[in-house]
Amino acid sequence: MDDAGFERRPWGRTPDGTEVELIRLFCGAMRLDVSTYGATVVSLRVPDSNGKPGEVVLGYDSLQGYLDDPCCFGCVVGRVANRISNARFVLNGTEYAVDRNHGQHHLHGGARGFHRRVWRAEVSQTGQGPRVELTRRSPDGEQGFPGTVHARVVYALTGNSLRMTLGADAEDDTVVNMTNHAYFNLEGPGRTCLEHELWVDSDRFLDVNEELIPTGGLFAVTGTPFDFSEPKSLGAQIDSGHPLMQAGSGYDHFYVLDDSARWPQYAVRVRAPESGRVMEMRTTCPGFQLYSGNHIPKGLFGRGGEVYGPRLGFCLEAQGYPDAPNRPEFPSVALAAGEGVTHETEYRFVSVGGAGDSNDHMKNR
């Protein structure tokens, strides 16, 4: 493709002196910046309905922002994303204690999980567009997890989409549940995410306690603020009195997808009314965490001097079930020695009035 390619350059060093790179992929009107620190999506520029490219993810201008980041902006989290209750689980009869970094619980791989590590990068050009593959070896015992794991992340631009492939191969028995933690705002800088209109192809979500730990139960979305079977704004019912909404201070809940074996499962559609941008998410994962950015610190300085705060961005974190290592009734995230796992998630961007811009095709799925 003549209008596609990549660039890479040094982007500073971590406190221990490890060099970090910033890699830029461009394909048509789309542009993606990825840091080898945390395998992080630093920037994603996508055209609006008038064809003008603009930023659609939250982030920082420099590596220092990510070294200090309290929100996991754009990074890959693992070895196990989301929550592990009481920061403990049993595998093959042995109990493992992992990093307790979220009250009494474990969150997103621990304080020095995958998002706080430097990855190796290989960049290439394919017939469909540019791609970057990031890899790292996670040793036995890292953040308390058993077994050595070889993790990989591929970001690829293909015209109007960003495709993420996350995978791992296990040398020993372990658990793996990785995801990307990008915060989207399709309106661009300075707007909350609450006016974004969502449609979600899921009729169930996980019940959780007051600490957002799954109870093992499932809730039907019908008749609740969690029902996006008909498109509605993210903010329409976010301040309702529903106890599960209050537990998360907004949306911070796992939606179950019914047909994760089919690629691509069309799971979510988001429309930004002002910019006209439309984003569709497809994934092979069994579900995703919808997070409405409730705990972004007020007054957090982001890219270009922009000041961030609560609900300035939302996440669609495609992944396995949270707390799966402690819930045998959930789909397993365990890997045996010699086994591997791979999941793909695609974020496809379409223009208003263009392909994919009809609600009818969603209602009939």
Q: What is the pLDDT of residues 280-325, one digit of tens each?
A: 999 999 999 999 999 999 999 999 999 999 999 999 999 999 999 9
Point out which residues pair with 163 in neighbouring strands: 156, 346
Q: How many separate domains does the chain show?
A: 1
- Contact by Cβ (8 Å): 260, 326: no
Strands 130-138, 120-125: parallel, antiparallel or unpaired by DSSP? antiparallel
Q: Residue 280, Cβ neighbours under 10 Å: how many?
A: 22
Q: Tell me, what's the pLDDT at 159?
A: 82
Q: Tell me, what's the pLDDT at 354?
A: 38
360 is in an annotated binding site: no
CB contact set of 3 (below 8 Å; sequence gap of 6+): 26, 27, 28
**Cα-flanking dihedrals φ and ψ of residue 52, to 5°?**
-90, 120
156 is in an annotated binding site: no
For residue 52, the number of C-alpha atoms closer than 13 Å in the C-beta half-sphere is 8
d(CA 334, CA 303): 38
181 is in an annotated binding site: yes
pLDDT tens for 223-278 read: 999 999 999 999 999 999 899 999 999 999 999 998 645 567 899 999 999 999 99
Point out which residues pair with 102 in neighbouring strands: 105
d(CA 148, CA 146): 7
359 is in an annotated binding site: no
CB contact set of 97 (below 8 Å; sequence gap of 6+): 87, 88, 144
Ranges under pLDDT 50 in the chain? 260, 352-365
Q: Tell me, what's the pLDDT at 262?
A: 58
pTM, two decimals, is: 0.94
Nearest to 16 by CA among 134, 118, 109, 110: 118
Domain that holds residue 217: 4-363
Residues of the chain by 3-state class (helix, strand, coil), percent to 5 = 10, 45, 45
173 is in an annotated binding site: no
Q: Which residues are catalytic?
A: 181, 317
Q: Tell me, what's the pLDDT at 264?
A: 73
Both tokens assigned to 24: 């830029």
Is residue 177 classed as helix, strand or coil in its secondary structure?
Answer: strand
Q: Tell me, what's the pLDDT at 350?
A: 87
- Contact by Cβ (8 Å): 39, 53: no
Strands 161-170, 174-175: parallel, antiparallel or unpaired by DSSP? unpaired
Q: Tell me, what's the pLDDT at 1?
A: 54
CA distances 141 to 6, 138, 268, 282, Å, are: 36, 9, 36, 33
82 is in an annotated binding site: yes
Q: Where are the alpha helices (DSSP H) in the chain?
A: 63-68, 243-248, 360-363
Provide the residue count of the chain. 365
Both tokens assigned to 200: 């979600």
d(CA 278, CA 65): 28
| CATH number where 96 lies | 2.70.98.10
